[in-house]
Structure 1
C-alpha cells in the first residue's frame, strides 16, 4: 500500500529567478532538497511573472498565482491542506500566515528569512549617516561589525525589525542563511535557538577545471542592480575605488554584470576608463571563470553573498569587505582578501591581479571552504530531516514557544478584522 506524499506549499514573495539573484538560487536549492526526498510541492505567489523566472513545471512543481487580501486564498489553502507551509521572507508570513493558521492549523510553518532585512536596513541607515557626517571618510571598519554599538539600538527601535522578529516567533522554524545572523538573533534579540535552522547557500562541491592565472583577464563585479547594497558598491567603485586601481593598472578593465540594468547604471559605462557596464550575464559562472579577480566592495548588507560563492566555485579570488565575507568563512582563510578601507581594497585588488603566486594561493583556499560549509547534500538532507522531525513533535515545540503563540493569536485577530474591513469597504463603495 503506497503512502501519500508529504506536501509542501511555498508562498513566494516573487517567482524564483535563480540566475538573477542569490535569493532566487537559494529558493531553488530548497525546493530541490524536498523534491529529492519525494515531496509534492506547490509554489504560490502574488507577484507578476519575472523575465528570468525558473520553469517550475519542468521540475514537477505546481504553480499557483494568488492575490493579497482575497478570500480565494482561503479556499485554495483549505483545499490543498499542505503538511508544511514555507513563507518566502517575513512579508509573506505577515500577509498569509493568519490565513494558514485559520485553515491549516496543524501545518508546520517555516520562514525562509533569506537574509535579515532589518539588519540590512539598519546598516544602510548608519552608512548614510556616516557619509553625511564625514563624506570624505575612507575607513568603514566599525560600521561593518555586528557588535557596532549603534547597530542593535537602531534595529530594536525600527518598525521593520519588530515586524521581522514577530514573524520569526510566529513561525515554527526560520531558515537562517548566515550563522552571523543566527548569533545576532540569539544573543541580542534573545530568539530561542530551537526556532532557527542553519540553511546556507548550497553548492555541488565537485572539483572543477579552473582556468589558470595566465588565461584570465580583467576584474569582474556582478549583482542585481535593483539590490541597494549592490548599487552602492557600483557607485563606490565608479567614484573612488576603480580610478585608483586603474591608475596602477592602466590596461585592466572592470566588467560589471547585473540583471535588470537601469538607465542610471548604463549611464556609468565608460570604456575609455575601463569601466564597462555589461548588463545581463547569460552564464554568470562563465564570465566569473574568465575574470582574474572579483570585486565586491559592499558597505552594507546582510545574509551571505551569492556572487562571492560563485567566485569560489570558479576559482576566482575575490576582494571584499567584512560585510561581504560575514557569515561565509567561519575560521577558514578567505580565498582572496577582506579589507575595510579604500587603501586596503585597492592594494588587495592590484596585488591579486599582478602576483601569480599570491593569486594561486588565494584560489587554493576556495575548495576547502566550499566543502566544509556549503556542500549541497549535507545541508539538503539536514533541512528535510529537521522539518520531518518537527512535524512529529509539533505540539511540544509550539508549547515551548509561548511568545510565538501569543503573537499568532493577536496577529490572527487583528489581520482578520482588517481583511473584513477592507472587504466590507469594497462592497460599500461598489
Structure 2
C-alpha cells in the first residue's frame, strides 16, 4: 500500500523515515506497485516524488538505473523479494536498507500457537515458513531497521544474525512539552472507552473478538452506562456484525481523525493476544494523554523499566477491573497519563536517534565493500537469489507478454 498514516501505524512510520532522510538533504522517490487509494497520503506535500512500478517487469530496471539511488529502502521483506535482485543488478553500489516494521515470522508463529491453543515457543520460529523468507531478506540487505529491541535480540540469539546487520530505530516522535500536556482534555471531559486498529491486521480483529466475548461483558457489568467505541480502517462484514448498541459495543469504522477520537476517550483498550513490533495504537494513546490497558504482547519492548501508562495484564478479569479503576479513579488516571508522557519523552524522541543514524549510514556507504564481504551468508543468498528468484521473475515477465 501507499502510506496511509490515518489507517495504520506502518503509514506513520514511513512518513517518519521520509522526514528522517529529508532532514539529511536526500531527494526521495517513493515507488510502489500498489493501486492508489482514497486514503493515501499526498507524497508531493512532503517533497517526495511518487512513482508507480510494475511487478515482474523490466520497466523497473530502466527506472531504477536512470534514478541511480545512493540508498534504497525496502518497505518490508516482500518488497525486497520482488525488487531486491533488480536493485542489485542495476545499482550494485546502492546501500540496501530494509524496514522490517515488525518481525512478521514472530507475529505469524504466535498467531499459529494461539489458534492451536498452546503457548508460543521460540523454537516455533524454526518451522514458520515466512521465517525463511524474512531472514533471507534481512541477510541480503546491508542493514535492517528494527522497531523492537526484543526482536533484535531474537534475531541475534535464535537466528544468529550478525548485530552489524541490525539497527534499532523505533518510532521517531516529537517531545510532549509542558504546554502540550496542559492542553490535553482533562479527565472530567473525557468519556467512554476506545479501541482503534486497522482490521486488515489479524491481531486487531482477534482483539475485538476477545473484547466482545470475554472482556467487555465484565466491564459493562460494572459500568452499565458506559460504551466502547471500536474504530478501524477496512472493517469487514464480520466486524460490522459485532455492532451491539444495547450492549454499548459500538463499531464506528474508520476514524477520520484518530488522535481526536483517542483524545476524547478516557481509556484505550488493547487486549492483543498475538502480534509483534511496537503498537502504534498504544503510542498514540500516550501522545493523546489517554490511559491504556493492554497485554504483555501489547506492551512488549515499548516501555523498558518505566511504568506503563495504565495497566498490563493477560487475565480477562484483571483487565476489566483495571480498566474500570482507571475509568473511575482520577488520581490513578493522571498517574497513568504522566507515565505515558515519560515513556514518549525518554524512549521515542526523534532527536535521540537522528545523529547516530546518519553516522551509521555514512559509515556503511564509506565501507560498503568490506561490510558486504563480512556478510558471507548475505552474499551467498544474493548469489542463489540471482539464480532463482531472478529467473522465476523473468519467466513470469515473458509469460505476461
- Normalised by the length of structure 1, the TM-score is 0.90
For the pair 1:46 / 2:33, whether they are aligned, the reply is yes
C-alpha offsets along residues 233-272 of structure 1, whole Å, 9 cap, x if unaligned? Answer: 0001011110110001111110111112222222111111
1:343 aligns with 2:308: no
Match of 2:75? 88
Q: 1:332 aligns with which of 301, 306, 317?
A: 306
Q: What is the CA deviation profile of residues 137-156 of structure 1, one whole-angstrom value per residue up to 9, with x for unaligned ones?
A: xxxxxx4xxxxxx5322111
1:376 to 350, 355, 361: 350
Distance 2:394 2:268 in 1: 52
Q: Does 1:297 align with 2:271?
A: yes
* Cα distance between partner residues in 1 of 2:308 and 2:366: 40
Q: Give the conservation status (yes or no) of the 8 Å contact 1:33–1:381.
A: no
Which secondary structure does the structure 1 equivalent of 2:331 belong to?
A: helix
Give the structure 2 partner of residue 394 of structure 1.
Answer: 368
- Find the counterpart in structure 1 of residue 329 from structure 2: 355
Kept in 2, the 8 Å contact 1:42–1:64? The answer is: yes
Q: Which one of 189, 200, 211 corresponds to residue 215 of structure 1? A: 189
Aligned mates of 2:400, 2:3 — CA distance in 1: 32
Residue in 1 aligned with 2:60?
Answer: 73
Conserved in 1, the CA contact under 8 Å of 2:176 and 2:344?
no
* Aligned counterpart, 2:259: 285
Alpha-carbon offset, residue 382 of structure 1: 3.1
Following TM superposition, by how much is the alpha carbon of 1:75 offset from its aligned partner in structure 2, in angstroms? 0.7
| Residue 106 of structure 2: aligned partner | 119
What are the Cα deviations for residues 344-383 of structure 1, in whole angstroms up to 9, with x where unaligned? 1111111111111111111111111111110022223433
Which residue of structure 2 lines up, in the alignment, with residue 137 of structure 1? none
Q: CA deviation at 1:327?
A: 1.0
Residue 184 of structure 1 corresponds to which residue in structure 2?
154
Q: How many residues align?
A: 397
List gaps (5 residues or longer) in structure 2: none
How is 1:107-146 mapped onto 2 (pairs within 5 angstroms)? Answer: 107-130=94-117, 143=119
Q: Is the 8 A contact 1:30 1:380 kept in 2?
A: no
Structure 2 counterparts to residues 24-63 of structure 1, below 5 A: 24-63=11-50
1:158 partnered with 2:132 = no
1:199 maps to which residue?
Answer: 169
CA distance 1:225–1:419, change in 2 (3 Å)? closer
Is the CA contact 2:195–2:269 (under 8 Å) kept in the aligned structure 1? Answer: yes
Determine which of 279, 295, 302 is the counterpart of 1:321. 295
Residue 295 of structure 1 aligns to a residue in which SS? strand
Which residue number corresponds to residue 86 of structure 2? 99
1:426 Cα deviation after fit: 4.2
Alignment partner of 1:273 is 2:247? yes
Partner of 1:407: 381
| TM superposition shift of 1:406 | 0.6
Describe the shift of the 1:290–1:425 C-alpha distance in structure 2 as closer, same or farther (beyond 3 A): closer
Distance 1:59 1:95 in 2: 26
Query: Which digits, 9 at most, give the CA deviation of each residue in 1:2-38, with x for residues without a partner?
Result: xxxxxxxxxxxx2111111000100000001111121
The 8 Å contact of residues 229 and 249 in structure 2, kept in 1 or not, is answered as: yes
Partner of residue 140, structure 2: 170
User: Runs of 5+ in structure 1 lacking a partner?
Assistant: 1-13, 134-142, 144-149
So what's the TM-score if we normalise by structure 2? Answer: 0.97
> How big is each residue's C-alpha offset from its partner over 1:137-179, in whole Å with a ceiling of 9 and x where there is no partner?
xxxxxx4xxxxxx532211112210110000000000000111
2:218/2:317 contact within 8 Å kept? no
How far apart, in 2, do the equivalents of 1:336 and 1:182 lie? 26
